[in-house]
Amino acid sequence: MSLDPYKTLGVDKKANQDTIKKAYRNLARKYHPDVNPGDKGAEEKFKELSMAYDILSDPAKKSEYDNLGKEAFFEKGFGGAGYQTGNFDFSDFRWDDLFADLFGGGSKPRSSRRKNSFAFGGDQVDFSSSFGDFGGRAVQKKGADVVRELNIPFLDAVNGQEMTLRLDLPQQCQQCGGQGLVSQGGGVGQCQACRGQGSVLAKQGIKLRIPPGVSDGQKIRLRGKGWPGQNGGAPGDLNFVIHVLPHEVFTRDGLNLLMEKDVSLYDALLGGSVKVPTPSGHATLKIPAMTQNGAKFRLKGQGITSGKKTGDLYVTVKVTLPTKLTEGARELVEKLAEMAPVS
């Protein structure tokens, strides 16, 4: 790659902006990847042209280059944005603004476009903060995050779960190969499929590990699975907001689980044992004699485990009465009432 933007564009140091732009436009048309599909040489040349134009079309960069000379200029890193030759990453540039300007690609003026937020299939992404200013310094920008709401069953939240989801997530646009540009009537225009962004939402399978003890409203972050960054910036993240569905038996209080258990009048009076569900199966709860309605029992360590902590399962007893009494049973209860009055 040539380090001399003047040489690359074939203009001399006294060339004005019109001449520079004209030279670039002619060469860029000739070497654009869409005009030369599969031609690596043309692609390299196109990158080189674009970098040269980026420097010479910006008065600040141009004068920096003129003053420092090429070695010092590139060593300095082209405004600290990782522009050193060799790692100039063409694919991360947003070409649409530049090409709208040069080729009249049908885009709105960039001043208004840059404030826009783009809707991708219901996913509202604000790009206004992530556009590098091509005319100025190429600033590395992290890609936008993607947020997805996810409902999970109560016991999956308690015990943890690995799941594979099929979701609309950002991926490189197939129509333009991520460049945001396509051939249009002999010229180059903005790719309609991605609106020049180079990325679109498309169905993808993604593995998600729900950690044990995840709570309602908690976020799970998958780094780097969001929208691509610009100018070599890191991609955004994919954030899941977890909604834990209610359970028919358990409710949650921190790491403790709460439940009610029906216990018959006779077990409550005489004592007995009842089977209760736990997050991992079942346990036997011993009911002592004379257990009152509403009494609460603790099953230690049968709650939620999160990290190194484990909660308990609290069982509240609900004493149930017989729904029918025979004549004989009724006489016995009357006798019982006399012998063991309730205060």
The H or E element that residue 101 is part of is helix 96-103
Question: Minimum distance between the CB of residue 188 and Zn ion, rounded to whole angstroms?
Answer: 12
Residue 215 binding Zn ion, by CB under 5 A: no
Question: Minimum distance between the CB of residue 19 and Zn ion, rounded to whole angstroms?
Answer: 32
**CB closer to Zn ion, 178 vs 213:** 178
Question: Minimum distance between the CB of residue 142 and Zn ion, rounded to whole angstroms?
Answer: 21
Question: Minimum distance between the CB of residue 241 and Zn ion, rounded to whole angstroms?
Answer: 29
- Of these, 52, 158, 176, 244, which contacts Zn ion (CB under 5 A)? 176
**CB closer to Zn ion, 193 vs 274:** 193
Are the beta carbons of 28 and 103 closer than 8 angstroms? Answer: no
Q: Which stretch binds Zn ion (CB under 5 A): 169-177, 202-210, 271-279, 301-309?
A: 169-177
Pair of tokens at residue 121:
């299939």
**CB closer to Zn ion, 134 vs 240:** 134
Question: Minimum distance between the CB of residue 139 and Zn ion, rounded to whole angstroms?
Answer: 23
CA atoms of 8 and 48, how far apart (whole Å): 7
Q: Which amino acid is at 250?
A: F
Residue 184 binding Zn ion, by CB under 5 A: no
**CB closer to Zn ion, 32 vs 252:** 32
Report which of 200, 199, 182 is spatially closest to residue 191, judged by C-alpha positions. Answer: 182
| DSSP-derived secondary structure letter, 218 | -
Residue 175 binding Zn ion, by CB under 5 A: yes
Report which of 54, 43, 45, 44 is spatially closest to residue 21, judged by C-alpha positions. Answer: 54
**CB closer to Zn ion, 135 vs 177:** 177
CA distances from 111 to 25, 53, 60, 107 (A): 21, 20, 20, 11
Q: Is 209 left (phi over 0), alpha (psi -120 to 50) or beta?
A: beta
| CA 6 from centre of chain | 43
Residue 173 binding Zn ion, by CB under 5 A: yes
**Strand ranges (DSSP E) for 133-236?**
146-152, 161-172, 181-184, 187-190, 199-210, 219-222
CA atoms of 267 and 321, how far apart (whole Å): 11
**CB closer to Zn ion, 84 vs 174:** 174
Number of residues that bind Zn ion (CB under 5 A): 6
- Of these, 125, 194, 210, 214, which contacts Zn ion (CB under 5 A)? 194
Q: Which stretch binds Zn ion (CB under 5 A): 63-71, 190-198, 214-222, 223-231?
A: 190-198
| DSSP-derived secondary structure letter, 246 | P
Residue 191 binding Zn ion, by CB under 5 A: yes
CA torsion angle 290 295 301 306 (round to 10): 170
**CB closer to Zn ion, 193 vs 255:** 193
Residue 167 binding Zn ion, by CB under 5 A: no
**CB closer to Zn ion, 193 vs 276:** 193
Q: Which stretch binds Zn ion (CB under 5 A): 152-160, 165-173, 300-308, 322-330?
A: 165-173
Are the beta carbons of 65 and 55 closer than 8 angstroms? Answer: yes
- Of these, 193, 255, 259, 283, which contacts Zn ion (CB under 5 A)? 193
11-30: contacts with Zn ion (CB under 5 A): none
Is the CA virtual torsion 50, 99, 103, 16 positive or negative?
Answer: negative
Are the beta carbons of 289 and 269 closer than 8 angstroms? Answer: yes
Interface residues toward Zn ion, by CB under 5 A: 173, 175-176, 191, 193-194
